[in-house]
Amino acid sequence: MPQAGRPVIDGYEFARGGGEISGSLSLADLPRLAELGVADAPEIAFAVRGGINERGKPALHVHAAGSVAMTCQRCLGRVAVPLAADAELELAASEEEVAAAEDDVDRVAASPAMDVVTLVEDELILALPMVARHEDCGPREAGEDGRSGSPFAALADLKARH
Ligand SMILES: [Zn+2]
């Protein structure tokens, strides 16, 4: 069930009417990302657009971009990971239809009250890297990342980049 205050759309109506909804999310909106090790998500911008896809079917285009903080698997400091998702989801009449489809088309079950943030969060989870690492860190790097042993230094470092 959609949570109070979150945008919901009627899937088919939104797609056929060419609807568009956009906004920004923080980690508080994205509990499943937090469960997957995302420590912070200062600002994720998203846009969901409705339309008819190349196959002539109603579809939702989900776009999201931003940066999240994760733990570097090498130095255990915080690392800012850019995150971008871009997906076209063809509307299906039911979860059964989604499950039964055997092609490569991404589908989502349409309903009269689809939770937009959940759609965006699903795509962000798919875009999340399995392992987060600084491009260059370790004992030989005495520079910027050398200070990131302390979580507070890592946080200050992260904030300085924004
Ligand atoms: Zn690192």
- In angstroms, the CA 159 to CA 146 distance is 16
Residue 62 phi, psi dihedral angles, 5° rounding: -110, 120
Let me know how long the chain is: 162
C-alpha 28 – ligand 1 centre gap (Å): 25
Q: Which residues contact 8 (CB under 8 A, 6 or more apart)?
A: 2, 113, 114, 115, 116
Kindly give the distance from the C-alpha atom of residue 154 to the centroid of ligand 1, in angstroms, as a whole number.
10
Gap from CA of 5 to ligand 1 centroid (Å)? 37
For the whole model, what pTM was predicted? 0.79
Distance separating alpha carbons of residues 152 and 28, to the nearest angstrom: 21
Percent of the chain residues past pLDDT 70, beyond the cut = 83
The whole-number pLDDT of residue 138 equals 76
Note the helical H segments in the chain. Answer: 11-16, 31-35, 95-100, 116-127, 151-160
125 alpha-carbon distance from chain centroid = 6
pLDDT confidence bin for 144, thresholds 50/70/90: low
- CA–centroid distance, 156 to ligand 1, in Å, is 15
Pairing of strands 107-109, 78-92: parallel
- For residue 63, how far is its CA from the centre of ligand 1 (angstroms)? 28
Q: What is the rounded distance in angstroms from the CA atom of residue 23 to the CA atom of residue 45?
A: 6
9: which residues sit within 8 A by CB, 6+ positions away? 19, 21, 48, 50, 113, 114, 116
Q: When comparing pLDDT for 19 and 136, which is higher?
A: 19
Nearest-angstrom CA–CA distance, 42 and 78: 13
**Mean pLDDT in the chain?**
88
- Split at pLDDT 50, 70, 90, the class of 5 is confident
